[in-house]
Amino acid sequence: MSCFVAGLGVLAPGLSGRSNALRVLRGDDAYGSQGGCVPQFTGLAANEARRCPTTARYALDVGQQALEEAAWEAARVATIFSSGSGDLEILDKNCRALIQTPIALSPTLFHNSVHNAVAGYWGIAMGSRASTTSLSVFDDSFAGGLLEALMMASLGTPALLVAYDIPAPPALALVRPIKEPFAVALALCLERPAGACTRIDWAWEPRSTEGSVVDLPGLETLRTTNPAARSLPLLQAIARLQATRIVLPYLAHGQLRLDVCPVSAVTPADHRP
Amino acid sequence: MKESARLEIGHTTLVSALGRGLKQTLATLRGDRSGLQSYTAVGGLVCDVGRVSGVADVRVPGELSRYACRNNNLAMLALETDGFAEAVRRLMQKVGAERIGVVVGTSTSGIAATEAAYRDPNFGITGTIAPDFPYRETHNVFSSADFTLRYLGLKGPAFVISTACSSSAKAFGTATRLIRSGLCRAVVVGGVDSLCDTTLYGFQSLGLLSGTRTRPFSAGRDGISIGEAAGFTILAEPGVLEGAGMVLAGIGDSADAYHMTAPHPEGLGAWEAMAGALAAAHYDPSDLDYIHLHGTGTAHNDAAEDLAIQKLGCHETPVSSTKGATGHTLGAAGICAVAITELAMGAGFIPGTINTEARDPALQSALVLAGRRGRVRRALVNTFGFGGSNCCLVLEARS
């Protein structure tokens, strides 16, 4: 099956937004993760913005980047949110509250702890009542979210995928060693967008290879330590504007094969009957 | 397979406070009995819950020992009930393990294991969870699907859908796409959620936990009673299942875009999901014989759901909530409703709204209080969750 990438968004330390990330992935700019990054987003009222957890901040930032590039109307776009571990900061706070006497959980932290809290904030910020789902495939959550988005788009519904994972707090760092935040968004659709874009021909198949890597050392480390950063080989293929086969492992037994092909802007010649 | 061909549902199993398996579930529903009982949580909170007995005694197979936790034990109970695992084995021989996917809905997965690790005296000393703690296999949200996939020996794509209380209804959406895309010929679809302190104290903190016992759609309703459950079914392309009981005629989902915990006051998101499911099924509202309510028993949720049903035009359609019997099983609520609706179709029995004595006069829907005989051919299942996450399924008895 096939679909097109109409827009993308990236945010991580050293990859501050779409343009910067594409330059770094092409090798035009050096990668350096120092300095961190601060998610930027619009749409939430002051009290909701204050309550908005870290995961949702990253998701809103990259999702809005991708929609802006795709020039899609936010309120009508189906969304898929994917995360390997959700919001570990909130989990830690809730678990600590549960060992106090008496137990008093924060209502805000409780409702922010659900895996789909990010989807809830997205809907409120974008005024979107469109179809939405939130999923996880542990370390292969990017591949899982991408598979759901590819299926949706290839069956005819334009879909926005947002994948994110944030670092574990110290209490959980040994069992979930995610050290850097990473968020990525892809706007996928069946109809070819007018501007230059990327086509993905895809298939899910039994595992036959180790999977694609990134050929920039710092980013390869990031790829292996944050589930959302497993998008980097695909992002690099998109950035380099070269036809490339990318393989994303999907659990021990499967893989997502992606034939990534740059497509130039639609010209009048493309409209010949 | 034609794109318009409707997918079939069969080999359903359910373990909840209503009983172990479909037979016990139906018997309890026919008796209008509740499975709720008083429970004292760690930390002293006393409330009614829908608890499944025998979960702690389940022994997962040795090679999956790191997956042992209340949530996966409960999942295994269901997989070994109603002949489900055996039905999957037969299906594997027929279509191949690579062509069967797994999509499981859960809200909290095995979080109780991490709660216990924080309570461990070692955590007080080191301030960290020890590296040998099986986080991936127990607590991580994907664990429920991972365990199910490994236990059954399947080789297709797997997902956990976690959209709070609509999780295992939305799981049918992903499963449908796996089949429509040609990746799978059948998908194991399920929902598993087990009792944990996070949800008990969390719903208490929001003032949404019933002080007595949940009474959906009653005037004096004061909140939910939490339950635990695991259920599975197989969704498949036509002709693959032996003895499918239902077809999935339509799915509708929507977001409220309103509030993180409160539903849209006019039930707008709920109505959109219900109307979307009916449109996908090419049904008129008058085609429905029954609506299995989300019916959680909180003041606002029930009022919003009632308004949505009235806006849909289902003024006379029998509706009931079974959460007074099972408790609110959160991520498993969808699969509970699907299993109970399948029983209703098979038995010609409309379950009652157990534990509710009289309908709130402010609500309009045709609430069934005591279970009664009734023909159910076409039914709507409602699920609505935190974050304004709505999903409705239209089910039709297979002739």
pLDDT digits (tens, 9 = 90+) for B251-305: 999 999 999 888 999 999 999 999 999 999 999 999 999 999 999 999 999 999 9
> Per the CB < 8 Å rule, is B119 touching A99?
yes
Alpha-carbon distance of A271 to B26, in angstroms, equals: 61
Domains of chain B: 7-397 (3.40.47.10)
B63 near B143, Cβ under 8 Å?
no
Q: What percent of chain B has pLDDT over 90?
A: 96
Contact residues, chain B, for A136 at CB < 8 Å = 140-142, 159-160, 162
- Which residue of chain B has the CA closest to A154? B181
Looking at the complex, does the CB of residue A89 fall below 8 Å from at least one CB of chain B?
no
SS3 A16: strand
**Bridging pattern class, strands B378-385 and B290-292:** parallel
Tell me: pLDDT of B96 over 90.
Answer: yes
Q: Which of B205, B268, B388 sits opposite A110 (nearest CB)?
A: B205
| Interface ipTM above 0.95 | yes
Q: What's the pLDDT band for B4 if we cut at 50, 70, 90?
A: low
> Per the structure block, which two tokens stand in for B368?
């069934």
Active site residue B264: no
Q: Which of A106, A175, A253 sits opposite B155 (nearest CB)?
A: A253
Give residue-wise pLDDT tens across range B140-199: 999 999 999 999 999 999 999 999 999 999 999 999 999 999 999 999 999 999 999 999
Q: Count of CB atoms within 10 A of residue B312's CB?
A: 19
Contact residues, chain A, for B385 at CB < 8 Å = 114, 116
Report, in angstroms and rounded to the nearest whole number, the Rg of chain A calculated over CA atoms.
Answer: 19
- Nearest to residue B78, comparing CAs of B338, B304, B390, B290? B338
Exposure b/e, A135-153, CB count within 10 A at least 16 = b: bbbbbbbbbbbbbbbbbbb
Looking at the complex, does the CB of residue B255 fall below 8 Å from at least one CB of chain A?
yes
Q: Environment class of residue A267 by beta-carbon count within 10 Å: exposed (0-12), middle (13-18) or buried (19+)?
A: exposed
Q: Which of B129, B163, B206 sits opposite A175 (nearest CB)?
A: B129
Give residue-wise pLDDT tens across range B291-324: 999 999 999 999 999 999 999 999 999 999 999 9
pLDDT of residue A34: 73
Active site residue B259: no
Q: What is the largest CA-CA distance in chain A?
A: 74
SS3 A155: coil
Measured in angstroms, the CA of B325 and the nearest CA of chain A are apart by 25
> Per the CB < 8 Å rule, is B160 touching A85?
no
Q: How far is CA A132 from CA A117, A122, A149, B324, in A?
A: 12, 10, 11, 29
pLDDT of residue A62: 98
pLDDT of residue A129: 94
From B294, B336, B391, B392, active-site residue: B294
> Per the structure block, which two tokens stand in for B132?
């040998």
Which chain B residues in 374-393 lie under 8 Å from chain A, judged by CB atoms? 385-389
Active site residue B196: no
Alpha-carbon distance of A101 to B270, in angstroms, equals: 39
Contact residues, chain A, for B259 at CB < 8 Å = 124
- Secondary structure in 3-state letters for B10-74: EEEEEEECCEECHHHHHHHHHCCCCCEEEEECCCCCEEEEECCCCCCCCCCCHHHHHHCCHHHHH
From B165, B184, B314, B391, active-site residue: B165
At CB < 8 A and 24+ separation, what contacts does A173-177 make?
A173/B128, A174/B128, A174/B129, A174/B130, A174/B131, A175/B129, A175/B130, A175/B131, A175/B133, A175/B135, A176/A85, A176/A88, A176/B135, A177/A225
Measured in angstroms, the CA of A123 and the nearest CA of chain B are apart by 4
Interface test with A, best of B66, B144, B205, B256 (most A CBs within 10 A): B205
- What pTM did the predictor assign? 0.98
pLDDT of residue B2: 54
Any idea where the domains of chain A sit in the sequence? 2-195
Give residue-wise pLDDT tens across range B204-251: 999 999 999 999 999 999 999 999 999 999 999 999 999 899 999 999
| DSSP 8-state secondary structure symbol assigned to residue B188 | E
- Which residue of chain A has the CA closest to B276? A131
Looking at the complex, does the CB of residue A50 fall below 8 Å from at least one CB of chain B?
no
> Per the structure block, which two tokens stand in for A157?
């519904």
Alpha-carbon distance of B230 to B17, in angstroms, equals: 10
Find the mean pLDDT for residues B363-370: 98
Q: What percent of chain B has pLDDT over 70?
A: 99
Tell me: pLDDT of B1 over 80.
Answer: no
Give residue-wise pLDDT tens across range A49-78: 999 999 999 999 999 999 999 999 999 899
pLDDT of residue A254: 98
Measured in angstroms, the CA of B342 and the nearest CA of chain A are apart by 25
Looking at the complex, does the CB of residue A131 fall below 8 Å from at least one CB of chain B?
yes
Superfamily of domain A2-195: Thiolase/Chalcone synthase (3.40.47.10)
> Per the CB < 8 Å rule, is B43 touching A170?
no
Looking at the complex, does the CB of residue A164 fall below 8 Å from at least one CB of chain B?
no
- Which residue of chain B has the CA closest to A106? B205
Alpha-carbon distance of B318 to B338, in angstroms, equals: 16
Looking at the complex, does the CB of residue B161 fall below 8 Å from at least one CB of chain A?
yes
From B328, B336, B391, B392, active-site residue: B328
- Nearest to residue A180, comparing CAs of A168, A189, A188? A168
Contact residues, chain A, for B183 at CB < 8 Å = 151, 204
Contact residues, chain B, for A174 at CB < 8 Å = 128-131
Contact residues, chain B, for A96 at CB < 8 Å = 118
- Nearest to residue B355, comparing CAs of B335, B370, B376, B377? B370
Give residue-wise pLDDT tens across range B193-216: 999 999 999 999 999 999 999 999
Q: Which of A120, A131, A133 sits opposite B260 (nearest CB)?
A: A120
> Per the CB < 8 Å rule, is B157 touching A204?
yes
Give residue-wise pLDDT tens across range B38-81: 999 999 999 999 999 999 999 999 999 999 999 999 999 999 99
Which chain A residues in 14-43 lie under 8 Å from chain B, judged by CB atoms? none
Which chain B residues in 212-251 lie under 8 Å from chain A, judged by CB atoms? none
Cis peptide bond upstream of A102, omega within 30 = yes
Which chain B residues in 60-119 lie under 8 Å from chain A, judged by CB atoms? 98, 107, 111, 114-115, 118-119
Which chain B residues in 307-336 lie under 8 Å from chain A, judged by CB atoms? none
Alpha-carbon distance of A212 to A214, in angstroms, equals: 7
Which helix H or strand E contains A184, and what residues bound it? Answer: strand A182-189
Residues of chain A with pLDDT under 70: 35, 268-273
pLDDT of residue B3: 54
